[in-house]
């Protein structure tokens, strides 16, 4: 379902998540390769989320472009005695505008629960960053029929800690864990069903916010399936993993977002 009632449009966003890949030279080469074609794609928005050590260099390479700089994580704490942590203030100081929060690898590999993810979301908002809140179910959860319950729990944890207005300062990314890096992808219809559920969940708290909230899809998005996914009414772009490391593939995905129709609310 598509909720209507505002005059604005949801402009699609494609964010590349480089994860723990590459080096300084390859990062700079990737930016150099994607910037010229992306500069001509002005009907969608784009971001790259680089590893911490390369944020300054990537930010310098992006300077003056329309591509935003993002980080892949942040600490749930303020500055202080938290060895190895990177605060929201530090990310903002480096020129980041976006940060991924609660990626499934942080939840499942590093054991970050809903409470920690909500703390991180709060820190991102506090320091003026746009959090990309990742939510999604494992294969066993999908097969057990609890996808909606899992996604609702993950979103509700942020709303309960930060408030519904804070959710409107971020982006939600639905990433079915079973489709991340596996080559398996949710069908466009499966993705749309969960995206519509997420929007409907937010409608219950704030209809106007729900209408403008960007909900991205993440889970083995490639050039070959991006256009069909982005054509779904409630899919507002993508959080792209492995494909974002290949310049031609990422540009093709961004082109698919450029060609997809925005959802217009009248």
Active site residues: 103, 175
Task: Residue 16: name the closest of 68, 73, 76 by CA.
Answer: 68
Closest CA to 74 of 63, 90, 59, 62: 90
- Pairing between strand 9-10 and 13-17? unpaired
Structure tokens at 42: 């002005």
The closest alpha carbon to 49, from 1, 79, 14, 6, belongs to 14
How far apart CA 248 and CA 39 sit, in angstroms, is 14
Alpha-helix residue ranges (DSSP H) falling in the chain:
24-39, 55-62, 88-93, 104-108, 114-126, 139-143, 147-162, 164-167, 188-203, 207-212, 223-230, 247-259
Radius of gyration over every alpha carbon of the chain, rounded to an integer in angstroms: 17
For 6, residues 6+ apart whose C-beta sits below 8 A from its C-beta are: 208, 211, 212, 265
- H or E segment and range at residue 239: strand 237-240
């Amino acid at each position: 379902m598509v909720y209507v009632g505002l005059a604005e449009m949801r402009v699609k966003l494609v964010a590349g998540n480089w994860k723990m890949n590459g080096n300084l030279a390859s990062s700079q080469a990737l930016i150099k390769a994607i910037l010229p074609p992306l500069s001509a794609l002005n009907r969608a928005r784009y971001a790259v989320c680089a590893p911490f050590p390369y944020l300054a260099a990537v930010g310098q390479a992006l300077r003056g472009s329309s591509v935003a700089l993002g980080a892949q994580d942040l600490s749930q704490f303020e500055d202080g005695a938290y060895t190895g942590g990177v605060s929201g203030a530090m990310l903002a100081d480096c020129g980041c505008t976006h940060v991924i929060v609660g990626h499934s690898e942080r939840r499942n590999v590093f054991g970050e629960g809903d409470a920690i993810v909500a703390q991180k979301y709060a820190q991102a908002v506090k320091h003026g960053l746009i959090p990309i809140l990742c939510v999604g179910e494992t294969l066993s959860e999908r097969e057990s029929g609890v996808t909606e319950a899992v996604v609702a729990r993950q979103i509700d944890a942020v709303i309960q800690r930060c408030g519904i207005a804070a959710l409107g300062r971020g982006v939600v990314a639905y990433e079915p864990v079973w489709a991340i890096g596996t080559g398996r992808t949710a069908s466009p219809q499966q993705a749309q069903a969960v995206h519509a559920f997420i929007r409907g969940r937010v409608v219950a708290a704030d209809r106007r916010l729900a209408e403008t909230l960007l909900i991205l899809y993440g889970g083995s998005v490639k050039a070959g399936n991006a256009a069909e996914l982005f054509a779904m009414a409630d899919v507002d772009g993508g959080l792209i993993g492995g494909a974002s490391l290949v310049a031609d593939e990422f540009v093709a995905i961004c082109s698919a977002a450029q060609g997809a129709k925005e959802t217009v609310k009248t």
